[in-house]
Structure 1
Amino acid sequence: MAFKPKTKEFKSTQGNDYTFQNVPNSKQAEILDKGTDSNGKILNTRMMPLMLEHVVVVPNGLTMDEFETWGELEEVTNAAFSFLRTGK
């Protein structure tokens, strides 16, 4: 079977719209390796930018500092991570 990207629309509690897209399994493994420490703990300074770069496709090119609040950054990147892991 060939990889077919799936997308999901997401609206934050702040009312902003985002589109998530999953990645091939090899890229997901790479993201997990880069975004966690040796014990598997997620490192925000690494994982959040990876979610914004590879999973959040609309708006494209977001950085952590473009979010007005930590709460929305955390909400969006957590939702993107959940989508990456489950496809839902």
Structure 2
Amino acid sequence: MAFQPKTHEYTSTEGGNHYTFQTVLPSVWAKVEDKITDKGGKLLVSVAMPEMLDKVVVVPAGLKLDDFESWAELEEVTMAAYNFQRKGK
């Protein structure tokens, strides 16, 4: 069975903005997980957020941390993207 990326339309509750998430290949995700967690398995926020925006949030493309007007929306969107990638829903 070949990898078929899943997509998910997401609207933030904080800002009401629309995003599209897309899952990445398992081999890519394994490298991302290694990069965004410390040795104890704790999520490194300053590394994880840009990775989610780069790898999982596909629309709008090219988002950066400073494109968000509020920390609350940035945190909401990147964590939703992270959870979508991990669970596929």
Same fold (TM over 0.5): yes
Q: How many residues align?
A: 88
What pairs up with 1:45-60 in 2 under 5 angstroms? 45-60=46-61
The residue aligned with 1:77 is 78
Query: AA paired with 1:79?
Result: A
CA RMSD of aligned residues (A): 0.5
Q: Which runs of 4+ in 1 moved over 3 A?
A: none
TM-score normalised by the chain length of structure 1: 0.98
The residue aligned with 1:12 is 12
TM-score normalised by the chain length of structure 2: 0.97
The residue aligned with 1:34 is 35
The residue matched to 1:75 in structure 2 has which SS?
helix
Matched, 1:86 2:79: no
Structure 1 gap segments, 5+ residues each: none
Q: Deviations over 1:19-45 (max 9, x none)?
A: 000011111111100001111100011
Query: d(CA) in 2 for partners of 1:83 and 1:63?
Result: 19
Q: How far off is 1:17 after superposition? A: 0.1
The residue matched to 2:61 in structure 1 has which SS?
coil
Q: How far off is 1:84 after superposition? A: 0.4
Q: How far off is 1:7 after superposition? A: 0.2
Query: AA paired with 1:83?
Result: F
